[in-house]
Amino acid sequence: MTDIDKEWLSSRYGRHFTDIDVVVGGVNRTYRVQAGAEVFYLRLYRSFGRSLEQIIAEISLLTRFPESSYVGVSRPVAAIDGAYVMKLHWNGEQRHGCLFQSAEGEPIELNNATHMARFGAALASLHLAMPVIIAGEVRELDPIAIVREALYALRRVPRSGEVVEVIENKYLPALLRLDLTALPSGTCHGDPWTGNARFHKGKAVFFDFDDFGHGPFVLDLSTAAWHFSHEESAQNEALMSALINGYESVRPLSVYELETLPLLIRLDEVRSLLFLARYCTLSDEMWTKALEGAKLVFS
């Protein structure tokens, strides 16, 4: 049984939705919605921490994204009144929601070097294809601001002192020494890992642009790398090389981007801790595991 009114949703989109099932029950709830053989995904955006203007910017990006032979995006679906973003009540609170096309296709394997090379090339193609003009509020992906926000949030987490000290006294000073203005910048996906894309008919289709914003392109590359480098694996070096070589087959990286990449991979650990502290309720056991993992990354 779904917690979304199927008849109401059908009336909004002028379709007969036959099934609605929760597929992600986290901060941003996601539902698989079927209308016969057609499949869509309904996203309920989190109730705080992201403004309506930022959601509008995401929709603007996806509707304006150009058609390409190399890369695509899961586009939003308009309701019968032409609106993409709707208001609805869920669990006693008002949320914003949007219906998206399904990104069907072959899952991208995280520990497959061939897939990582294709994924790297797709990520570079995504960067080059991003529309220049986007309506709404496009957030700035500022590494320094992210670290400072994480430090503020983590200080409220019990037994986080050791991790806070490492981030504040070792990692942040190293980050401050970077010349971030020297890094090529533009519109970034924000969370481009293999779980947020599919290979379909010769190209990669990306979805889940909830964290998109303007910042150094290498931030997206570091995020993609963080998802496999966090695990202990003999394949990591080969996977990293495949990812970078694939990316550079489309957009060559500057020497400075390559030099900063290892430092920015650690930024993704900080971003992960910030997300957990800001939006999630973790048990003491889960926080201990997360903080121990962070210690390994920063050591």
Q: What is the pLDDT of residues 215-229, one digit of tens each?
A: 999 999 999 999 887
Residue 88, C-beta contacts closer than 8 angstroms, at least 6 positions apart: 4, 44, 94, 95, 96, 97
Return the bridge partners of 77, or none. Answer: 99
* The pLDDT value given to residue 294: 92
Burial class (CB in 10 A: 0-12, 13-18, 19+), 124: buried
Q: pLDDT below 50 — which residues of the chain?
A: 1
* The pLDDT value given to residue 228: 80
Burial class (CB in 10 A: 0-12, 13-18, 19+), 27: middle
* The pLDDT value given to residue 231: 64
* The pLDDT value given to residue 47: 84
* The pLDDT value given to residue 234: 73
C-alpha atoms less than 13 angstroms from C-alpha of 155 in its C-beta half-sphere: 7
Q: What is the pLDDT of residues 107-129, one digit of tens each?
A: 999 889 999 999 999 999 999 99
* The pLDDT value given to residue 184: 97
CA distance 130 to 128: 6
CB burial string 64-83: b at 16+ within 10 A, e below: ebeeeeebbbbbbbebeeee
